[in-house]
Structure 1
Amino acid sequence: MAREVNRVVLAYSGGLDTSIAVKWLQEAYDAEVVTFTADLGQGEEIEPAREKALAAGVKPEHIFIEDLREEFASDYIYPMVRANAVYEGLYLLGTSIARPLIAKRLVEIAHETGADAVAHGATGKGNDQVRFELAFAALDPSLKVIAPWREWDLTSRTRLIAYAESRGLSVPKDKRGEAPFSVDANLWHTSSEGKNLEDPSAEAFEDTFQRTLAPQLAPDEAEYIVISFDKGDAVAINGEEMSPAAIIEKLNEIGHGHGIGRLDLVENRFVGMKSRGIYETPGGTILMSAHRGIEQITLDRGAMHLKDELMPKYAKMLYEGFWFSPEREMLQAAIDLSQKYVTGDVRLRLFKGSVNVVGRHSPASLYSLEHVTFEEDDVYDQKDAQGFIRLNALRLQLMAARKKRLGEND
């Protein structure tokens, strides 16, 4: 090896691949392995990861299992919502936003345990390898980064299973046979890839969806809810104050019953290829719609339009793994400043896969009925519009005159 490694902290899910990674790191680097498993609201019990890590030869004191749901919601998801971040017009960045927090905690545990390396289980084809490693570089470039999928020769499912069995690792029945169906889940979303989804012309099977009822099976009557905001952050649902994580969990529950938040997307990966995935973001879809709704009456036109211009850049930074970059932090500061008056209530109508804003109210509203009314008013002189239009038309008139003078036709 180019550099000696004594101890390495591995992002550990408890699944077969990362259990194999534990053994491989122990053998290939002759290193002590520390595992870190994060509860980001994936909806499954993570404590069994402890027994699996022990079975793979990790010392009890080197197994870290932590509930990070509140930090994930308040410090990562909520800042992203303030930006209305959407990648390529559709994707709500559910996988992207989880990686910086995992990476940050890996680095912190490396410092706590005296490790000199960190490792992840992302493949060499995807975005996650980039997201993890850019975060590592920003947080502690002195740590060695190990990406087993880019180093080992376990290049097929057959080889992986053979390696696991030869080391005494349990291989679940669903890991044998055909290629796997990949699922990534957290508090914000669920994404599914593989099997029939690799053909972008094929409709996803209904059993692909895990967090949303089929819209056609949703209730025949709409449900109305009210989300309250304070400075751009959701703080209550139907008048009940909740923590950020609890709000997202509750909106996921509500959105599930109405089939809200399904997305079939072919996206452009940072590494250059296109990939097809099925995303489910029920609570996030509702929350993003509500946030847009409260901004409609509290943000000045100039601020709103500037935010809309900056948003694709912000979303691209998140997607590509630049959460800890100075440019993302600069944009975040501007976005957060814009949220000073984004406070109030938004009423939404949920029905068979759709979410619509049907009302909004704010003590800081910029909406003026006096100015927009069709009735007689004393605050706006309509004659002023004549000069306004004339000045804005001047340059267009000059260009039209030039075309006529030069004999040009459209």
Structure 2
Amino acid sequence: MNSSVNKVVLAYSGGLDTSAIVPWLKENYDCEVVAFVADVGQGDEELEGVEAKAIASGASSCHVVDLKEKFAREVIYPTLKTGAIYEGQYLLGTALARPIIAEAQVAIAKQVGADALCHGCTGKGNDQVRFESAFAALAPELKVIAPWREWSMRSRPQLLAYLAERNIPCSASATKIYSRDANLWHISTEGGELEDPWCEPSEQVWTWTAAPEQAPDKPQYIQLSFNQGELSHIDGQAYSAVDAILHLNSVAGAHGVGRLDMVENRLVGMKSRGCYETPAGAVLRAALLGLESLVLDRSVLDYRIRLGNEFAQLMYDGRWFTPLRHALLAAAETIAEPLTGDVVVKLYKGNVTVTQRQSPNSLYSNAFATFDEDEVYNQKHAEGFIRLYSLASRIRALHGQAEDGDQSS
């Protein structure tokens, strides 16, 4: 028994793991357990009755905190401006939610006078790093408890037996196929047949999106309006940040948009396979890329792409609460200043395609780009440009010819 902890705040979900953690903490640390639940848009089904579950498991109290608007405004939209996408595919759905969950958990701990924090992350995943890095930055004085790195239980049946011995109710079963994580931005699915990368995902895997083969045969067009890189209107109607994402999830999901089956490199060194559904993210990313192509010059766009790659790595690795995050977001904000305009996307059979784009800051000029006669570009000028552009190649070739001549003589 460890008596150095008096009160701990547990990041609680109501699932099997955290239901078992509550009594385990009380038994092994002889401490009061305060449950903390972050509402990041995982849905009413997961949140229903969660306070009662926590109390029934042995928690002294349960704090449910609505973080949806904060999540959208302070994390999702700023990250969108960076263009972050991990390993060329993943829109960082799980990673994006972790900073604000950790931040709110620390706030509750300080509010109730806790001296420890606890999470239910396994010892194999990325989330343990994300949570504990945030805790270190925000409350280094608080002890961190990670039961999966301490207890001897290693399977669902063992956890279920542990709860049954203590007469603690739990709706989980030993035959659960998949592990899912949902929030406002996405839902991820792991386990089951996905543990074999040679197996195609069954339709049971997908919960937010229609199969592209079963999606409507008629495409749907949506007009998205942006102001300095942030979505302001959909088809001329204003939406809050949260409602915009929910609306696009629904509309794009019905067309099978936003599915991803990916094998990725985890931070801890192993590979894992996950299926992700991010309908709104797929639409917004495509629209912003369309607007960027119209507004940003080549050097700025090139830098934005490099910034996006760096920010994706930062987010994935749990380094939100660092000076580098502030620096990268400041750069992204500056780059996004001219991203004001309208983009029309077509949703059809799992695809999202930009079909129209316009902006008052457009750098596209038909007078320059036309194949017809124009008054602003003299094609003869291209000769001097090309000669200078290829000068290094010309010098290298002449040098090689001179060396060949010396050898032949």
TM-score relative to the length of structure 2:
0.96
Q: CA deviation at 1:16?
A: 1.6
User: 1:1-400 maps to which residues of 2 (within 5 A)?
Assistant: 4-45=4-45, 46-59=47-60, 62-172=61-171, 174-176=172-174, 178=175, 180-400=177-397
Write the deviation string for residues 119-153 of structure 1: whole angstroms up to 9, x where unpaired: 11110000000111111111121111111111111
Aligned CA distance change for structure 1 residues 108 and 50 (closer, same or farther; 3 Å): same
Long gaps (5+) in structure 1: none
Q: CA deviation at 1:170?
A: 1.5
Q: CA deviation at 1:179?
A: 6.0
- Farther off after superposition, 150-159 or 280-289: 150-159
Q: CA deviation at 1:406?
A: 3.5
Amino acid of the residue matched to residue 401 of structure 1?
L
- Farther off after superposition, 201-210 or 359-368: 359-368
Aligned residue for 2:390, secondary structure, equals helix
- Farther off after superposition, 116-125 or 399-408: 399-408
Query: Could you tell me whether the CA contact under 8 Å between 2:56 and 2:169 is conserved in 1?
Result: no
Amino acid of the residue matched to residue 4 of structure 1?
S
Q: CA deviation at 1:157?
A: 2.2
Query: Could you tell me whether the CA contact under 8 Å between 1:6 and 1:31 is conserved in 2?
Result: yes
CA distance in 1, matches of 2:223, 2:4: 57
Aligned residue for 1:385, secondary structure, equals helix
Aligned residue for 1:270, secondary structure, equals coil
CA distance in 1, matches of 2:33, 2:404: 78
Amino acid of the residue matched to residue 298 of structure 2?
R
Q: CA deviation at 1:158?
A: 2.5
CA distance in 2, matches of 1:180, 1:168: 24
Long gaps (5+) in structure 2: none
Query: Could you tell me whether the CA contact under 8 Å between 1:47 and 1:65 is conserved in 2?
Result: no
CA distance in 1, matches of 2:212, 2:164: 43
- Farther off after superposition, 369-378 or 336-345: 369-378
CA distance in 2, matches of 1:199, 1:276: 8
TM-score relative to the length of structure 1:
0.96
CA distance in 2, matches of 1:260, 1:129: 30
Amino acid of the residue matched to residue 192 of structure 2?
K
CA distance in 1, matches of 2:18, 2:132: 17
Name segments (4+ residues, structure 1) moved above 6 Å: none
Q: CA deviation at 1:404?
A: 2.9
Amino acid of the residue matched to residue 122 of structure 1?
C
Amino acid of the residue matched to residue 147 of structure 2?
P
- Farther off after superposition, 243-252 or 322-331: 322-331
Q: CA deviation at 1:3?
A: 7.5
CA distance in 2, matches of 1:91, 1:349: 21
CA distance in 2, matches of 1:394, 1:339: 35
Instruction: Specify the alignment match of 1:405 in structure 2.
Output: 402
Matched length: 404
CA distance in 1, matches of 2:258, 2:3: 46
Write the deviation string for residues 206-228 of structure 1: whole angstroms up to 9, x where unpaired: 11100000001111111101011
Query: Could you tell me whether the CA contact under 8 Å between 2:258 and 2:277 is conserved in 1?
Result: yes
